[in-house]
């Protein structure tokens, strides 16, 4: 570099791959570099003076916490911020610094793919550990439960008073209820019988079953990719998975109603359980309900975790287990007005 030549700050900002914004305390935009303009799908002229949250369908940043940190003279970092723009979700790392004249510098960088993959693997390992723990407890419960039920049956035969048999009947009924719950906790232990056929046959059976439960103010939309290749799968298990997810969506809509979309697409060049596949099937279940509570999202696939009063929290845990047995995966995105579960099943390496 020639002596005495200073780099131009504007050129540096324009060349950054990270999105850089300068905003005021109301988060109104006063500067956006080209990367930020591309992220927000607006020119700098249109962005100028517009509060950042108004451009987004959803923004997970804790703005009050950021302001508190900046007011205390500290920087602020959130390593996982979700922005939704035109129904597209972006997961970013956000850093904020206070500038002179009460401006704030925001820098947003896409989450590193390797870091995201490592995070997914860690969460999956934690879910498996939680599932194994629950299964171990379930086995410990199931063994004495059989003895309890048998003793109640013998006691009912020995009781002289028929009125007292009502108590043993209650014991037997409750033991059976607990046994059914334990069986659901244990879930399927072995892979099912896989056949190669169109996944749309399963989707149509799910639609037929759910259609009988739909209230008048809920619309079920089918959006299938007719070019999706056939794939090996256990139809009964995949039906159970999709039925659980669609019914969860229906319950999430509540009395206000709404729309549920069942969508299929072909995914290309996807990594599933450490294996690279040229082709995979993606099955989406999308609803426009209130969205999943943030405090549930990290543990949603854990056994006994439910966002619904009276729910067992087993449906998604079992669904995850079944998809694991197919060498696939389940992902979800959620914000107010949108929840989407995506099931990926391998087709071809």
Distance CA 10, CA 193 (A): 62
**Could you read off the pLDDT of 177-197 as tens digits, one per residue?**
777 777 766 666 566 678 999
Q: Do domains 9-111 and 195-348 have the same CATH topology?
A: no
pLDDT band at residue 238 under the 50/70/90 scheme: very high
Q: Classify residue 242 as exposed, middle or buried by CB count within 10 Å of its CB (0-12, 13-18, 19+).
A: buried
What local confidence, expressed as pLDDT, does residue 197 receive?
94
Does the pLDDT of residue 57 top 90, yes or no?
no
What local confidence, expressed as pLDDT, does residue 99 receive?
92
Quote the tokens at residue 225. 């990719």
286 close to 339: Cβ distance less than 8 angstroms: yes
Does the pLDDT of residue 311 top 60, yes or no?
no
What local confidence, expressed as pLDDT, does residue 310 receive?
55
Assigned CATH for 195-348: 3.30.565.10
Across the chain, mean pLDDT equals 84
Does the pLDDT of residue 263 top 60, yes or no?
yes
pLDDT band at residue 233 under the 50/70/90 scheme: very high
Kindly report the CATH class assigned to 9-111: alpha beta
- 315-325 and 113-158 helices, crossing angle to 10°: 120
What local confidence, expressed as pLDDT, does residue 44 receive?
87
Tell me the CA distances in angstroms from 223 to 81, 109, 117, one per residue in order: 30, 33, 29
Q: What is the DSSP letter of 299?
A: T
Domain coordinates in residue numbering, the chain? 9-111, 115-186, 195-348
Does the pLDDT of residue 90 top 60, yes or no?
yes
What local confidence, expressed as pLDDT, does residue 187 receive?
63
* β-pair type (104-110, 58-59): unpaired
pLDDT band at residue 1 under the 50/70/90 scheme: very low
State percent of the chain over pLDDT 70. Answer: 85
């Amino acid at each position: 570099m020639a002596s005495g030549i200073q780099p131009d700050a504007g050129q540096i900002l324009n060349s950054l791959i990270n999105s850089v914004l300068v905003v005021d305390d109301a988060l109104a935009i006063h500067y956006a570099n080209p990367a930020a303009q591309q992220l927000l799908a607006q020119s700098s002229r249109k962005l100028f003076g517009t509060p950042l949250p108004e451009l987004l369908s959803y923004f997970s940043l804790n703005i009050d916490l950021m302001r508190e940190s900046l007011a205390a003279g500290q920087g602020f970092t959130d390593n996982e911020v979700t922005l939704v723009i035109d129904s597209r979700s972006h997961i970013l790392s956000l850093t904020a610094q206070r500038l002179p004249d009460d401006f704030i510098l925001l820098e947003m960088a896409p989450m590193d793919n390797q870091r995201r993959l490592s995070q997914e693997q860690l969460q999956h390992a934690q879910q498996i550990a939680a599932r194994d723990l629950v299964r171990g407890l379930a086995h410990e419960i199931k063994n004495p439960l059989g003895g309890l039920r048998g003793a109640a049956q013998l006691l009912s035969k020995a009781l002289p008073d028929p009125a007292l048999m009502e108590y043993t009947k209650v014991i037997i009924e409750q033991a059976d209820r607990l046994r059914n719950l334990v069986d659901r906790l244990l879930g399927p232990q072995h892979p099912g019988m896989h056949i190669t056929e169109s996944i749309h046959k399963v989707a149509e059976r799910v639609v037929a079953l759910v259609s009988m439960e739909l209230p008048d103010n809920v619309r079920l939309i089918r959006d299938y990719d007719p070019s999706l290749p056939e794939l090996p799968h256990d139809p009964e298990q995949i039906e159970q998975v999709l039925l659980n997810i669609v019914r969860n969506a229906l319950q999430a809509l509540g009395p206000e109603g709404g729309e549920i979309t069942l969508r299929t697409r072909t995914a290309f060049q996807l990594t599933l359980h450490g294996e690279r596949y040229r082709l995979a099937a993606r099955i989406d279940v999308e609803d426009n309900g209130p969205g999943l509570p943030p405090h549930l999202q990290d543990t949603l696939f854990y056994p006994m975790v439910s966002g619904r009063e009276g729910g067992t929290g087993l449906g998604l845990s079992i669904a995850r287990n079944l998809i694991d047995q197919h060498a696939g995966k389940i992902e979800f995105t959620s914000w107010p007005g949108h929840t989407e579960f995506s099931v990926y099943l391998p087709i071809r390496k």
